[in-house]
Amino acid sequence: MSTVTISAADINKLRQATGAGMMDCRKALTESNGDFEAAIDWLRKKGAKVAALRGDREAKEGVVLAKTTADNKTGITVCVSCETDFVSKNADFVAFAQTIADAAIANNVKSIDELNNVSINGAKVAELVNDKLASIGEKIGITKFERIDAAYVASYIHGANRIGVLVGMDKEAAEAGKDVAMQIAAMNPVAVDASSVPATTVERERAIVTDQIKNDPKMAGKPDEMIAKIAEGKLNSFFKESTLLSQAFVKDSSKSVADYLKGAGDVKVLEFKRVALG
């Protein structure tokens, strides 16, 4: 039995992330000793339909921007976070974030640390962030930064600066790049295709679906070989729903994204980045 104290705030955080009930969230956190990720897995193994939790829930409010260089060979997306939507929707704050994104492009920035040390009109970005914090009275910061270099990079900003997407492709294809970026913003795939899903993600999903099957009363007493076969089938369904090229194309669900790209000139997506406010 867990000795970790589970607070109401912890339970509410899990409820917000998963949509599961309060008592289920309390039980999940208790069983997982307060480990948030393990609690989500516990809920899923028990058959709860929970919202996907991915690495785009880091900033409560803020501005996400995505930009490319003039030749579309490099793209960046950056999140400048704040505490309230009152600030994030303020025109001055949006302009401040835009200045930071412009500086990232102009200075060929590759990381948050580099960006914080870039000078704008004689002051480092980190200093400007501290000045802005002092003037608005909210905690702000550059909380996420991603970059792609490719033969062609498309960028897209969705939902009033709430989601920024970059798509790296093997050739210039502006329309296809925008369409795929919109797909990524809407459907939040975990990888380009099944082969590029991280091994840790694959094993995590396999463990979850295997436990789901074992917990099904109809599967009681079934041999491990049968359970493993069914689990692989469910895993293949996960790949189809959660990897970009296999997903149904949002503009025409009769075809997959791979089909769409083939028809658009056999364009290949090399990688993508998606940054979103949670």
CATH class of 61-178: alpha beta
Structure confidence at residue 164 (pLDDT):
97
pLDDT of residue 2: 47
Question: b or e along 113-149 (b: 16 or more beta carbons within 10 Å of the residue's beta carbon)?
Answer: eebbebeeeeeebbebbeebeeebebebbbbbbbbbe
pLDDT at residue 74, as a whole number: 98
Measured CA to CA, the distance from residue 163 to residue 183 in angstroms comes to 12
Total Cβ atoms within 10 A of residue 37? 10
Q: How many CB atoms sit inside 10 A of residue 173's CB?
A: 22
β partners of residue 243: 191
Q: What is the pLDDT of residue 21?
A: 82
> Long-range CB contacts (< 8 A, 24+ apart) of 125-133?
125/100, 128/96, 128/100, 129/80, 132/93, 132/96
Instruction: Report the distance separating Cα 89 and Cα 136, nearest Å.
Output: 13
User: Which of the following CATH numbers is that of domain 1-53: 1.10.8.10, 3.40.50.720, 3.40.50.920, 3.30.1180.20?
Assistant: 1.10.8.10
pLDDT of residue 214: 84
The reported pLDDT for the residue numbered 101 is: 97
| Maximum Cα–Cα distance across the chain | 71
**What pLDDT was estimated at residue 155?**
98
Full-model pTM: 0.74
> Quick one: pLDDT at residue 54?
41
Domain range summary for the chain, segments of one domain joined by +: 1-53, 61-178
Q: How high is the pLDDT of residue 137?
A: 81
CA distance 120 to 133: 17
> Tens place of pLDDT for every residue, the chain, 278 residues?
446 788 888 888 888 777 788 888 889 999 999 998 888 888 888 776 665 444 343 347 999 999 999 999 999 999 999 988 899 999 999 999 999 999 999 999 999 999 999 999 999 999 999 888 888 888 889 999 999 999 999 999 998 899 999 999 999 999 999 999 999 999 999 999 999 988 888 888 888 888 888 888 887 878 888 888 888 888 878 888 899 999 999 999 999 999 999 999 999 999 999 999 86
Strands 269-276 and 163-169: antiparallel
